Structures are given as C-alpha cells and as structure tokens.
Amino acid sequence: MVNKISNKQSWLNLINIDSVYSSDKQRQAFSLFTMIAISIVVISILIFLNYDVYSPILTSALIAVNVTIICSMFYFIKTGELETVALICMSIVFILCIVLTYTGGKENTALYWLMFYPVVTFSSLGVRLGTWLGLTLLLCCIAILYGPNFGQVVYGDIEKTRFIASFTLVYIFSFIGEFFRYRSHMAIADITLEQKQDAYTDQLTGIANRRFITSHFLKLVDSRPNEYLPFSLLLLDLDHFKRLNDTYGHDFGDIVLIEFTKILESQFPTSAVKARYGGEEFVVILPKETSANAVDIANRFREHVAAQVLLAEDNLQISLTCSIGVVQVDKVGDYNSALKQADEYLYNAKALGRNKVVSTKD
C-alpha cells in the first residue's frame, strides 16, 4: 500500500496564526498602557503632594519616569514597537525602584511601592524578561538593605525581612501565573495551527487543497505582493484518469494520484505551491515566474510524467500523461479570471490530443 506524502511540505510553513498572536499582543498592550496611565496619574499626584518632603534625587527620578513613559507612549503610537516600549518603561521603573529603596521615600515607606513591580513586569514583558528584571531588582534591594552604608536610608531589621519575604512571594506568584498563562497560550496556538493545517490539507495526497489557495494563500500574496507577484498558474489534469479508475478500481486510482503528487513535489521547486483542486485536477503556482518561463517548466514536467510507468494488477505497466494550462497572474484580483483562462487552455490541450502544454488561445 502506498502512503500519502508524510514529510512536512514547504507550503505548510506559509500557514500562520497571526490572529492568535495578535490577540495576545493586544492584551499585552492594553495591560501595559492601562498600568502606564494609572502610573502617570499616581506619580503626578505624589510629586504634587510631596515635592517638599521627597529628596531632590527621588523627585527628579519621579519626573524622569513620567516624562519617559509619556514619550514611550508617543513612540508606540508612531512605530507600534510594543516590546521596545515595554522594556523601556520597565527599565525606567526599575531605576525608580532602586532610587526609592535608596532614599526611603516619605517616612521610609518606599518599600511598599516595590511590591507591584513583579506583577507589572511579568504582565508587560513575559516570563523570560520578567524573571530577570524581577530577580535583579530583588538582588539590588538586598544589596542596598544589607550591604555597606553608602548614604542610603536605614530600615529596621523586621521591615527589611518582611519586605524581602513579601517581594519574593509576589515574584514567585507572578512568575507562576505568567508561566502557565504563556504555556496555555502556546498550547492554544499549536492546536489552532494544527486545525488550520488539517483544514488546508488534501487528505489523500498530503499536499494543499483548494481551500488553502483561496482562503489563505491569496491573502498572503495580497499582503506581500513583492514576494510573489507576478506568479504563473499551472492547471494540470491527468489524462484518461476516469478510464484508469473504472478499469483498475478506485484503490489503484488513489495510488495514481499519490504517485503523481510525489512527482509534483520532486519536479517543481520548493518555492512552488502545489494543490489538489479536486479529482485528478491539480494547481501549481510558481511565484515570481512569467508565463514564458512557466511553459518551459511545465513542458519538462509533462515529459517527466510521460516517462513514468506504474504497475497495475498482474504487473501490467501503465503509462501516465497530463495536460497543462498556463496563465500569468499579475494581480491577486485577477486570480479567478486567470483560473478560468487556465481551464480553457487545459481544455484546448485535451482537444489537441492530450499530453500538451497550452498557454495561448490558439
């Protein structure tokens, strides 16, 4: 028994799940900028109410944080670089936390404000960066609290111990929450990708199906025209397939389709998109190829197919041939009309005696 092609096809790499990652990016952006807006308001109020109490270092740091965060928001609006903006914001807040720990804030209450940092960092930057920034801040705070005196505020032993314990717990809980959220997100992404791949795969041959071309590939071409256009469209049909099917049975017909698919995969470049359009009809798309070049490629393929021999029952040798219609597509919007044109050329190839490549109306 012949199995369908099992190796991962290059066309599968064209399937993406951008919508899944886009929704997570929207969640991340919404969380970050909601927290940023709250931070701007809170920091502004603190500066206004305590400018005469805070040390000049702390006041300057708070103002710098607000200015940096506001500038980062405008930078995001202009560039859309969410990861960069999040890293800048969390880094400037990291410095603020160090300054808070060093100066003590108002009546040495600065340590309480640091508790929010792990939650915000994991939510904004994810597991990897959140882990490193949160752990680095904890170690820096321990160095300030228990290290040699270089002008920092002195905290009580109980206060220091409780802060370290509380911050560590918040850090651990934030890590656990973000870690399993990330794992769940990736599991959903994998399931979504598998479902899309299954929906776009021809179950008999293992190559792409018609839905992949119409529902996914054309949208991809429309979003990246410079990578694909113009492309040549080849519509292929196995000659006398119905007679083979009726004579030797559907199982042998399936074997013929699978073997023909293997020839498609081996003879056309990996950049080409091959799809079974239904029955014995196949489509091959050659990105960045003119119809003139595509005709040469199609003829070489046709000759290779004609040289193949399959064994039917009683070791009877069966020869295969195929007819091909070739059309060049310059715009995505022309695809349907080009497909109809290729179908006409294919009909002409059959009328001319089969085993032909036709690319003109003549």
Q: What is the pLDDT of residue 27?
A: 83
Q: What is the pLDDT of residue 52?
A: 84
The model carries a pTM of 0.71
- Domains, the chain, ranges and CATH? 18-192 (no CATH), 208-358 (3.30.70.270)
SS3 sequence of the chain: CCCCCCCCCHHHHHCCCHHHHHHHHHHHHHHHHHHHHHHHHHHHHHHHHHCCCCCHHHHHHHHHHHHHHHHHHHHHHHHCCHHHHHHHHHHHHHHHHHHHHHHCCHHHCHHHHHHHHHHHHHHHHHHHHHHHHHHHHHHHHHHHHHCCCCCCCCCCHHHHHHHHHHHHHHHHHHHHHHHHHHHHHHHHHHHHHHHHHHHCECCCCCCEEHHHHHHHHHHHHHHCHHHHCCEEEEEEEECCHHHHHHHHCHHHHHHHHHHHHHHHHHHCCCCCEEEEEECCEEEEEEECCCHHHHHHHHHHHHHHHHCCEEECHHHCEEECCEEEEEEEECCHHHHHHHHHHHHHHHHHHHHCCCCCEECCCC
Low-confidence residues of the chain: pLDDT under 50: 1-8
Q: What is the pLDDT of residue 4?
A: 43
Q: What is the pLDDT of residue 9?
A: 58
pLDDT tens for 117-167 read 999 999 999 999 999 999 999 999 999 999 998 888 999 999 999 999 999
pLDDT tens for 193-204 read 889 889 999 999
Q: What is the pLDDT of residue 360?
A: 78
